[in-house]
Amino acid sequence: MSEENNILVKLNNVGLLQNHKWLVKGVSLTVKKGQIVTLIGPNGSGKSTTAKIAIGIHKNIEGKVEKFTNKIGYVPQKISIDWTLPLRVNDFMVLTENLSDEAINEALSLTGAKHLKNKSLGNLSGGEFQRVLLARAVSKKPELLVLDEPVQGVDFTGEIALYKLIKEISEKLNCGILLISHDLHTVMSATDFVLCLNGHVCCSGTPKDVAMNNEYKVLFGEQASQTLSIYEHKHDHTHSDDGEIKKN
């Protein structure tokens, strides 16, 4: 970690060209310790690609990535466990690092998945699996947590609970979080910075405080309005169907 400003990862004008097509281009962002950065954008806009560039899965990239930590916890967007591999939650927890039984229990309890410990990974429901994925990522007490759509497959109440949990984790571990949200307009209120991607950075800023927004409160309830915020896009351009950029 760079001492003076607590930066964990810094992307400087990065891009990825694959099969003669730019998946993302010209993205710059920084995640600092204790900060939550949220990426939003439509499907295929390069959110996951950007996250994978940040943690070094994509290597042949343009631009520069500076990583100041190696303690990374990653929750990928899609993960399919093959039935040929007999794997229980317990085995999955120690996949990338050996942990004590206490550490495993602690992480599983934190995400409310302790009762699943001896279950086979193949028998979990979507929501249970997300909790296990999250528990595994936080169990090694990472400095940088990268969460690719961690609330997918979880119902609305569960979503609120998971966002609360992510906020708790961020406070408890004081780690930086790079969060990818599947929703275009609502983000966690705890988010410090939002980037809206569509092949490039369309706009960025801080989310609007919706605790004040009565309409939203009526729509989603008091609890939700404390956890979720509306992000107001400020685009100065639009995209045509083939992704071409048109200035307004």
Residues lying near other proteins in the complex (CB under 8 A) are found at 52, 55-57, 70, 72-74, 76, 79, 81-82, 84-88, 91-92, 95-97, 120, 140, 146
Residue closer to other proteins (CB basis): 44 or 56:
56
In contact, 158 and 125? CB cutoff 8 Å: no
Residue closer to other proteins (CB basis): 95 or 184:
95
CA dihedral sign of residues 82, 83, 84, 85: positive
Residue closer to other proteins (CB basis): 123 or 223:
123
Of 124, 189, 113, 187, nearest to 153 by C-alpha is 124
Other Cβ atoms closer than 10 A to 38 = 24
In contact, 72 and 222? CB cutoff 8 Å: no
Residue closer to other proteins (CB basis): 10 or 136:
136
CA distances from 225 to 7, 12, 37, 150, 189 (A): 30, 34, 19, 19, 8
Give ∠ CA 183-177-94 in degrees, rounded to 5. 105
Residue closer to other proteins (CB basis): 81 or 211:
81
Least Å distance, CB 118 to other proteins, is 9
Least Å distance, CB 140 to other proteins, is 8
Least Å distance, CB 13 to other proteins, is 22
> Bridge partners of 36?
177
**Six token digits for residue 141:** 């007490």
